[in-house]
Structure 1
Amino acid sequence: MSTLSRRELALQILSKTGMQVSNYSPPAVRLLWRMGIDCPPPHFARFWPVFFISGVYFGVMLGLFMWLATLYRPLFLLSSVPFGAAIAGCCFGFFMASYYAIGRRKYQLPRWEEIGVTSGN
């Protein structure tokens, strides 16, 4: 089964759960799909990739914001910006990965590899 048809089947499964579209198909993931990057919807992704991707994204964006804020008005020590951004990124990544893992269990969703293979999906 191709990744595109597997993704469409996964989105159909998720739409039947009653979740909002923005929850199971967030804008960042839709942007990746439009750019041609094949990735599963977050509820079907494994814990560690979600942790890593969301943590790095959040940490980098927060680090840039903190760096720009420090240039304008020194609120933080410039040397503490990378450490603070890394800690915040790890926390955010952990909470997002946990959120999607809990949703996967709550709605009893199949694993990504099982979509389209088992009968009944």
Structure 2
Amino acid sequence: MTYLDNKKIVNRIARTLNVSNKYGDENTYSYFLNSQDIDWVYVRDIEKNLTYLGKVEVFSETEEIKELVLSDVTVYTYPDSEELYRIEKIYLSYPREKVTIEKPNFNDYAKEQQPIKTTQRRKSKEQSDKA
């Protein structure tokens, strides 16, 4: 039974049969950032007029805040996307409703501008605590 729950087999069957859109008990934030195709992200800080492009290292969420650590970060102005600077790592913390995270479409960029993608998986803080 634990195997079925951990692999979300029942939810997969329900989605296949179009009787449910539920993917599991984890929140959408964790689901999105744990997706196989999520490695690099844009984080939009509209209030500060900044956009961060970086590789997701770790993330966590509480009732009040969402936290991210990004590496290989490029910081841009928002909304005109002028590059400001590059840094090795950054810690970001936002109230739950104040963060926008997007998956970049690197097909729009020349190969020399594309960051090197890795397949290393991350764990949310909640998953690390459970292990």
Q: Which has the higher strand share?
A: 2
The higher relative CO (CA closer than 8 Å, separation ≥ 6) is in: 1
Q: What's the TM-score, normalizing by structure 2? A: 0.27
Q: Which has the higher helix share?
A: 1
Q: What's the TM-score, normalizing by structure 1? A: 0.29
